[in-house]
Amino acid sequence: MRKKFLFLMVLAFATATYAQTSDTSSKPDTLKLSLPEALQIALSESPTIKIADKEIQRVDYSKKESWSGLFPTIDGTGSFQKYATASTMALAGMTIKLPSDWGASLGVQAALPLVAPALWQSIKMGETEMKLALAKATASKIDLRNNVSKAYYGVLLAESSYAVLQSSYKLAKQNYDQAKTRFNLGLAAEYDAISAEVQLNNLQPNILAVESGIRQAKLMLKVLLSIDASVELAVEGKLTNFETDVRGLNSERNVKLDNNVDLLQLDVQKQQLKEALSIQKTQFMPTLAAFAQYNYAGQGNKAAVNFITQQPSPASTSWYGQGLIVGLQLNVPIFHLNNLYKVKKLKVQAESLDIARDLTESQLKVQARSALDNMDKADKQVEAAKKAITLAQKGFDISSKRYENGGGTILELNAATVSLSNAQLSYNQAISDYLNAKADLDKILGVQN
């Protein structure tokens, strides 16, 4: 309930803020989110997280169920029998008909386990099952955090690319206007105007594609946040704001997988197998339980002739207690061959899990190393792209002046425009690559904040 309230408050605040700052022609219900707010909503509203929480709740009840086995059990019994035909008995070589009409009994039974090794091990295994449920819930949160972060970066990259293409379109429009003016004045050939117009038109499909990419990226983010697709979503900030997160690092540093949730789950599963093996071994051990039982019975007889006195006997009903019985019940397993094979099967499963864990650890180390290499490469690409932007901007300024003064060609100016646009796109892409690689590394290392 608290998480739901938090989400509604964030949505209401964002909507109110937008309503105050937008004009009447703008679309309502715009949800502005920063990355921390997006993560907070995802962790509160995602069905995956809710399922994981329900699993923890289920395991908690399962653990309580195991503990309840230590308490006594009490059962009530009752029965009623109606004689459809007369009952008989043999006595002194004679077959005698009995006047029994019906019979009934009521009883109460209680039992208390005194020595129950399997039950004790089951309680211990319940604690391990809770550890596994918590590990799975943590894995779900880390995986969701990774997906939301990368989706958020995807929206920023698409918007940044759109801004670059819009800027490039504006420069191409300026080039076209300049070439058209020079052609009309007879200072340039018609080819210059045509070439500039072609350059301008070539940008339009790319702009439309990026606009579609922005919509798709936002839709993916809405799905992860469990937000209705009709809600307008606006992410705060720009991709360049995350440049401060890009920093030089040592890609050869040691990778510690102590908090990796995949390995933690495998470790817990191995512990579960050990405890399951212990439970199976208890099947070779005796069990002892105390019990108590009390029965109360009743019987109805038809009117008949007493076979001894030969006197008429009226119909009668009688109830009587059968006494309180207390005792101990000992169960000693002597020969159960299937238990032996169950033990062997669990040992093989444990050995297989060890192999799987070693393989998973090796794969994770390779993935972590790859993420570090990608971060290192992206870091260098960011620096190179920044220098390229500076040089490309300088080259564009020179080409523009040269063409304006008649010393350059339209091909040179178009090439300078494309180079500037490519440098800016490469810069944004490098930042995005770094952030995505870092998100993957955080997932591998089990970083939760």
Chain-centre distance for alpha carbon 308: 81
Q: What angle do CA 411, 415, 419 make, to 5 degrees?
A: 175
Alpha helices in 46-116 (DSSP H): 47-68
Q: What is the pLDDT of residue 377?
A: 92
Q: What is the pLDDT of residue 143?
A: 94
Could you tell me which residue, 272 or 89, shows the higher pLDDT?
272
Please compute the mean of the pLDDT values over residues 211-220 and round it to a whole number: 94
> Of the segments 15-29, 80-94, 146-160, 187-201, which one has the largest average pLDDT value?
146-160
Res 430 pLDDT > 90: yes
Non-local (6+) Cβ contacts of 443 within 8 A are 142, 143, 145, 146
Q: What is the pLDDT of residue 445?
A: 92
In this prediction the pTM is 0.77
Report the candidate in 422, 382, 403 with the shortest Cα–Cα distance to residue 168: 422
How confident is residue 185, by pLDDT bands cut at 50, 70 and 90?
confident
Res 159 pLDDT > 90: yes
Q: Are 400 and 413 in contact (CB under 8 A)?
A: yes
In whole numbers, what is the pLDDT of the chain averaged over residues?
86
Q: Are 267 and 67 in contact (CB under 8 A)?
A: no
Res 3 pLDDT > 80: no
pLDDT per position as a tens digit, 85-141: 877 777 666 777 777 888 899 999 999 988 888 888 888 888 888 999 999 999 999
